[in-house]
Amino acid sequence: MSRHLIALTAVIALAGCSAGMTAEAVQEAYAPPEEDAELVVQLDGAPPVLVAEAPQTARLAPPPVVVRQAEILFCDIAVVKTSHGVRITPVVRSDRSLSGEFSIVITKNGKGGSSDISQGGPFDAARGVKQELGSSEISLERGASFRAVLKVRAGGREVCRDIRS
């Protein structure tokens, strides 16, 4: 509460001070100074204020460099239980149209050992569209497990990876 009162008092004081400036003083304050000149600001009823000019060597900071906003890329492995096991579907979505390649490796471990399923290839995804990149269904008997690794490449580099188990 007291901070608000102090802030309000400061605003009222500033308003009172700025209201006391004459039109001539405002013009002088905002007029470009002559070379090596000093600027004198006159307030009504107050002594003149001497404002020193900034040295010529002073420079404003350069404008910030605008960096392209980060692209939003989403890749996921959708896993849905089925009557015989699970269906595994790699999915990609981007805030811009995206072309690239994907690979998914699904490793199943069970009583009888392990097996791998590998899928991959090129894809094209429209901007903002959730694009399915294929699908695999594996059976999962009691005690079996799986691990799926999705890698998405675009522009010659890996841009997304997801792992599910």
pTM of the entire structure? 0.57
Cβ–Cβ < 8 Å for 93, 130: yes
Task: Give percent of the chain above pLDDT 90.
Answer: 48
Q: What is the pLDDT of residue 84?
A: 87
Task: Check residues 87 and 53 and name the one with the higher pLDDT.
Answer: 87
Q: Where are the domains of the chain?
A: 2-51, 73-164
Question: In 3-state terms, what secondary structure has residue 54?
Answer: coil
Q: Which residues pair with 98 in a beta bridge?
A: 125
Percent of the chain whose predicted confidence (pLDDT) is above 70: 57
Look over the chain and give the mean of its residue pLDDT values, rounded to a whole number: 74
63 has pLDDT over 50: yes
The pLDDT tens digits of the residues spanning 86-138 come to: 999 999 999 899 899 999 999 999 998 999 999 999 999 999 999 999 999 99
Top-level class of domain 73-164: mainly beta
Residue with tokens 């901007």: 127
